Amino acid sequence: AEGGLAGLLEYSCDLFDPETAERICERFVRVLTAAAAEPDLRIGRIEVLDADERRQGLEGWSSAPRAVEALTAAELFAARVAAAPDAPALLFEGGELSAAELDARVTKLARYLVGMGVGPESFVALALPRSVELVVAVLAVWKAGGAYLPVDPAYPAERISYMLDDARPQLVLTRSDVADRVPDGRPATVLDDPAVIAAVEAQSAAEIVSPARLSNPAYVIYTSGSTGRPKGVVVSHAGVAGMLATQLERAPVGPGSRVLQFASPSFDVAFWDLAMGLFTGAALVVAPAEKLVPGEELAQVLTGFGVTHALLPPVVLAAMEPSDELLPGGFLMAAGEALPGEVVGRWSPGRTLLNVYGPTESTVAATVSGSGLSGSATP
> Is there a single domain that holds both residue 185 and residue 220?
yes
pLDDT tens-place string over residues 324-364? 999 999 999 999 898 998 999 999 999 999 999 888 888 88
> Is there a single domain that holds both residue 196 and residue 50?
no
Mean pLDDT, rounded, for 245-270: 93
pLDDT at 371: 65
Cα–Cα–Cα angle for 243, 245, 248, nearest 5°?
115
What does the H/E/C string look like for 318-351?
A: HCCCCCCCCCCCCEEEECCCCCCHHHHHHHCCCC
Report how far residue 60's alpha carbon sits from residue 72's, in angstroms, rounded to the nearest whole number: 31
> Is there a single domain that holds both residue 56 and residue 79?
no
Q: What is the percent of the chain with per-residue pLDDT over 70, rounded to a whole number?
A: 94
pLDDT at 312: 96
Report how far residue 126's alpha carbon sits from residue 178's, in angstroms, rounded to the nearest whole number: 11
Using pLDDT thresholds of 50, 70 and 90, give the confidence band for residue 205. very high
Report how far residue 373's alpha carbon sits from residue 191's, in angstroms, rounded to the nearest whole number: 43
Report how far residue 222's alpha carbon sits from residue 230's, in angstroms, rounded to the nearest whole number: 6
> Is there a single domain that holds both residue 144 and residue 215?
yes
Domain that holds residue 104: 73-368
> Is there a single domain that holds both residue 27 and residue 91?
no
Q: 68-77, 124-133, 221-230, 258-267 — which is least confidently predicted?
A: 221-230
> Is there a single domain that holds both residue 237 and residue 173?
yes
> Is there a single domain that holds both residue 267 and residue 136?
yes
pLDDT at 177: 96
Average pLDDT, the chain: 91
Does 376 fall in a domain?
A: no
Does 273 fall in a domain?
A: yes
Specify the 3-state DSSP secondary structure of 165: helix
Does 253 fall in a domain?
A: yes
Using pLDDT thresholds of 50, 70 and 90, give the confidence band for residue 9. confident
Specify the 3-state DSSP secondary structure of 223: strand
Q: Which phi and psi (to 5°) does residue 284 adopt?
A: -90, 130
Residue pair 34/18 in contact by the 8 Å Cβ criterion: no
Mean pLDDT, rounded, for 238-257: 92
Total domain count, the chain: 2
Query: What is the domain-level CATH number for residue 344?
Result: 3.40.50.12780
Does 152 fall in a domain?
A: yes
Mean pLDDT, rounded, for 23-27: 92
pTM: 0.84
Q: What is the percent of the chain with per-residue pLDDT over 90, rounded to a whole number?
A: 75
pLDDT tens-place string over residues 137-148? 999 999 999 999
Residue pair 259/298 in contact by the 8 Å Cβ criterion: no
pLDDT tens-place string over residues 155-196? 999 999 999 999 999 999 999 999 999 998 788 999 999 999
Report how far residue 136's alpha carbon sits from residue 154's, in angstroms, rounded to the nearest whole number: 20
Using pLDDT thresholds of 50, 70 and 90, give the confidence band for residue 256. very high
Report how far residue 325's alpha carbon sits from residue 342's, in angstroms, rounded to the nearest whole number: 20
Residue pair 266/155 in contact by the 8 Å Cβ criterion: yes
Does 1 fall in a domain?
A: no
Radius of gyration of the chain (CA): 24
pLDDT at 313: 95
Does 193 fall in a domain?
A: yes
> Is there a single domain that holds both residue 46 and residue 95?
no
pLDDT at 66: 64
> Is there a single domain that holds both residue 244 and residue 266?
yes
Helices (H) and strands (E) in the chain, counts: 12, 14
Report how far residue 100's alpha carbon sits from residue 185's, in angstroms, rounded to the nearest whole number: 37
pLDDT tens-place string over residues 268-286? 999 999 999 999 999 999 9
Report how far residue 129's alpha carbon sits from residue 151's, in angstroms, rounded to the nearest whole number: 8
